Amino acid sequence: MRGLFLFAWSVLAALLAAPLPAAGQAGFDRPGGDYTSAVERTADPALCAARCDREPRCRAWSFVYPGAAGQNAVCWLKNQVPARVENACCVSGIKGAGVQEPRKGRDGAIEFGIDRFGGDYGNFDTQPDPNGAACKAACEAENRCRAWTYVRPGYLGPDSAARCYLKDRLRPPRRKPCCVSGVVR
């Protein structure tokens, strides 16, 4: 009985010590190892991860946002697992891990992959920024602004710039990979 107990503990310890696959992370690329690519018409990195999951040859993937390296979003499938490098152009991961957007800030003010559609009273082009910091700062500087949405470059059409929308009404959040949003008041 004691031998069975020790065996069970050793199996459990081995399972807990095994590394879990890293989820696909926004802001990282995995250059190299490409064996195919495809335009991702919906521009959703989760569909790129799912495409890799369905392909027997695929071991890792990189999703390039529209406008980062051309007008379309592109899904790159890889037959090896290259090291990841920080790059705002992309979301990348390994097979079976899905997509993980960055977590909200400590104050909960940043919503990655969220569009707060409607309630716009102003908008402007802005510099590309994976966190939408300039958009958030513009909203915080105006008493009228209650929420904001930053749209990544390329999502509003070919060659479109990053755009900030300031909102005077709160609307329910909608999951959209194009956007980073937040509520300030």
How far is it, in rounded angstroms, from Cα 60 to Cα 80? Answer: 6
What pLDDT, on a 0 to 100 scale, did the predictor assign at position 182? 93
Q: Could you report the per-residue pLDDT of 58-95, keeping only the tens digit for each?
A: 999 999 988 777 778 899 999 999 999 988 888 899 99
Nearest Cα to 115, choosing from 19, 47, 29, 179? 179
Domains of the chain: 22-100 (3.50.4.10), 111-183 (3.50.4.10)
Q: Dig out the tokens for 51 from the structure.
A: 């495409």
**Residue 94 CB contacts under 8 Å (≥ 6 apart), including other chains:** 21, 22, 24, 59, 60, 61, 81
Q: How confident is the model at residue 101 (pLDDT cuts 50, 70, 90)?
A: low
Q: Could you report the per-residue pLDDT of 123-168, keeping only the tens digit for each?
A: 999 988 878 999 999 999 999 999 999 998 888 877 788 899 999 9
Mean pLDDT of 94-103: 73
Q: Could you report the per-residue pLDDT of 8-63, keeping only the tens digit for each?
A: 444 333 333 333 334 567 788 999 999 999 998 888 888 999 999 999 999 999 99
What pLDDT, on a 0 to 100 scale, did the predictor assign at position 117? 92
CB 150 within 8 A of CB 180: yes
3-state secondary structure of 115: strand
What pLDDT, on a 0 to 100 scale, did the predictor assign at position 112? 84
What pLDDT, on a 0 to 100 scale, did the predictor assign at position 100? 63
What pLDDT, on a 0 to 100 scale, did the predictor assign at position 34? 96
What pLDDT, on a 0 to 100 scale, did the predictor assign at position 4? 44
Mean residue pLDDT across the chain: 82
